[in-house]
Chain A
Amino acid sequence: MLTQESLKRTPLYDEHVALKASMVPFGGWQMPVQYEGILAEYTQTRQAATLFDTSHMGEFLIEGDCEKTGFEHIVTMRLNDMPLKTSRYGMLLNEQGGVIDDLIVFRIARDQWFCVVNGGTIDKDARHIKEKLRPSAKFSNISMDLGKLDLQGPLSRDILKQYIPTIEKLNYFAFDYFDLLGENVLVSRTGYTGELGYEIFFPWDKIVDCWRTLLTHKEVKPAGLGARDVLRLEMGYSLYGHELSDTITPLEAGLSRFVDFEKDFIGKPALLTQKEQGIPRRLIGFTSTSRKSPRADNPLWSADKKMIGTVTSGSFSPAVGTGIGLGLIASAASEANFAKGAKIFFGEENNFNEAVISERIFYKKGSLKH
């Protein structure tokens, strides 16, 4: 266990403490899990707007032609046809096809790439990318130069446009540089909540001003990792360390649409072998038939109570009104038996709780693409 002292702090640590947030360790960082309460922050995000401190996340800058530098070969999504000022989600894989991390790559200029990676995997990702890039590439880890704020919720555009009038033109997964509070900053229309929202990359040492300014709006409240986890789970978004890991492939995690099999990339041969020989596990969504919530690492059981897999994430869902979960189950357990609507159980052997297999998305009414 990391001691409190060895945990990293974002530039907003003192702000969180002043707002009486409960702080928890997360991926080596000391992060706010909640301020007012997880459900209140959840509802605020779905109905109005919230501000998340995501400064723990990592940012890299890669300069050079994506093919000549080998960067195209390192990530699963296609880079060479990306329009400027757009971003794409994908993964870094190891040779076995396991996921080193998931990331978003932004194309700033033809030969300039900005990557956003998870906070707990910054060093591992940087090592991997640097090792695989050819010497012609210029790689910079700028994680400690940039903080990040996620402004999320149906009212986020109305608030942000009071500072950036042209923000209205920004489409889903597009980004640009804008003047905001005297700084020229990258703002992307991305997020992790299923609501309309923006990620603001602000200089590390000045981000307190941006945080405080956005929180002066009565429609905006701070939200922590607790609400963020419920929001992302309702959307079926993967969380690294849960649905994704070094030993889970994108095919198992149901993310093949973020893998471009038309190009070559690290891990592709392993994925093709999996496709040929059968994908060992697959990620399912399921809905508890009660308010009882599944929890990560709970075993999953078939209707006749044979163990079929493990819960990767679980929570109570305010939108559904029951517990919801994602889990990895063995594909060998006949596909047909685990179609949508099939009955399963979650929980320890002496405490079976009924659930029904559902889609991997639990909430479809979000303002994401409004």
Chain B
Amino acid sequence: MEAENHLLYTKEHEWVNIEDKTATIGITEYAQEALGDITYVELPSEGEDVEQFEEFASVESVKAASDIFSPLSGKIIAVNKDLEADPGLINRSCFDKGWMIKIEISDMDEANNLMTAAEYTKFLESVG
């Protein structure tokens, strides 16, 4: 399974791209494949606060709903509105057009709790 090198990862298969104080968050290739065809994404609103490893969204596929957890704490500054009409963007482009939210990071040290691409790749091997 592909893991993008410049990103950090959670055990729940979310990714985060940190650029200065902004973090872009989405779900990984492994997660989108496990979920299957995504039909609905329930996103939070801009201005809300999220906590590290707490639920901020839910993603539904044809058969199931899954909670998505935030890799970092912060204030939501953007949500991907394209997902409302085309939730399949996550299946087709999970690391790019299928991003979910952008936050302003409140505690940069929390990044130490996340996995690097190499660690995540190893983690994926361990979960089979």
Contacts and interface: CB of A to CB of B under 8 A. Distances in A.
B39 A291 contact: yes
A38 B63 contact: yes
Contacts, number: 39
Nearest to B65: A295
Interface in B43-68: 60-63, 65
Interface of A: 33-34, 37-40, 42, 226, 229-230, 290-293, 295, 315-316, 323
B40 interface: yes
17 contacts: A33-B63, A37-B36, A37-B37, A38-B37, A38-B61, A38-B63, A39-B37, A39-B62, A40-B37, A230-B62, A290-B40, A291-B39, A291-B87, A293-B39, A293-B40, A293-B60, A316-B39
B65 A316 contact: no
Given A34-B36, A293-B39, A293-B65, 8 more contacts: A38-B36, A38-B61, A38-B62, A39-B62, A40-B37, A42-B62, A291-B40, A292-B42
Instruction: Determine chain A's interface SS by DSSP, over half rule.
Output: mixed
Contacts of B62: 38-39, 42, 226, 230, 315-316
A39 B60 CA distance: 13
Nearest to B37: A39
Contacts of B63: 33, 38, 226, 229, 315
- From B36, B37, B61, B62, residue with most partner A Cβ within 10 Å: B62
A230 B36 CA distance: 14
Contacts of B61: 38
Contacts of A316: 39-40, 60, 62
